[in-house]
Amino acid sequence: MADKTEKTNAMRLLEGKRVVYTALRWTYAVDQHAAGDVAEQLGLPPAQVFKTLVVLSPAPKARPLLVIVGGDREVDLKKLAAAAAEKKLAMATQREAETLTGLQVGGISALALLNRGFRIYLDAAAEDWETLVVSAGQRGVSVQLGVADLVKVTGARIADVSRPLSSAET
């Protein structure tokens, strides 16, 4: 869909691969990092709006992971470790995530980070949807695209790597 949103590198990538997407703009607030807040602005269920999180392995020379999970879910580090054949994993701090990706939290996107050495995982809950929404690599801009297209473009591995948000986060 053509709109007045300036194109991000993620959008250019999708267009270059002839992937159909819809650009979505939402109002970013400094205290807003939750995908549920974005979903509310877009009028979509939180389960359809996916966030991209950075996860680290303490193993020497291990590549960081990008984990894409629905807004109504959180990464289950034990499940992710099993899927990634790792003994232990930890969530990156905001500073670590921004340093590793070069993107700001709220705008981290696997689509903008291809060929940067990240292992990419998409939570199996994505298979419940025909399309999902992910960041376009900039705060306030997302793209809606087919799940199969996201997997094809990013090379993401689909695995059960999440659990419902704890009551403190809902």
**Domain ranges for the chain:** 21-164
What is the number of helices (H) and of strands (E) in the chain?
5, 10
Tell me what pLDDT residue 167 has.
57
pTM more than 0.85: yes
Tell me what pLDDT residue 170 has.
42
Handedness of CA 126, 154, 14, 8 (dihedral sign): positive
Which of the 8 DSSP states describes residue 115? T
Q: Which amino acid is at 168?
A: A
CA atoms within 13 A on the CB side of 62: 17
- CATH domain 21-164 topology: YbaK protein (3.90.960)
Tell me what pLDDT residue 27 has.
83
Q: Cα separation of 64 and 98, whole Å? A: 12
User: Phi, psi at residue 19, to the nearest 5°?
Assistant: -95, 125
Label the pairing between strands 119-123 and 65-70.
Answer: parallel
> Are 121 and 65 contacting, i.e. CB atoms less than 8 angstroms apart?
yes
Report whether pLDDT(98) > 50: yes
User: In whole angstroms, how far apart are CA 4 and each of 1, 109, 140, 161?
Assistant: 10, 20, 13, 35
Which tens digit of pLDDT belongs to each residue from 38-95? 888 889 999 999 999 999 999 888 999 999 999 999 999 999 999 999 999 999 999 9
Report whether pLDDT(1) > 70: no
Which tens digit of pLDDT belongs to each residue from 105-156? 889 999 999 989 999 999 999 999 999 999 999 988 999 999 999 999 999 9
Q: Cα separation of 43 and 125, whole Å? A: 19
Q: Cα separation of 14 and 115, whole Å? A: 15
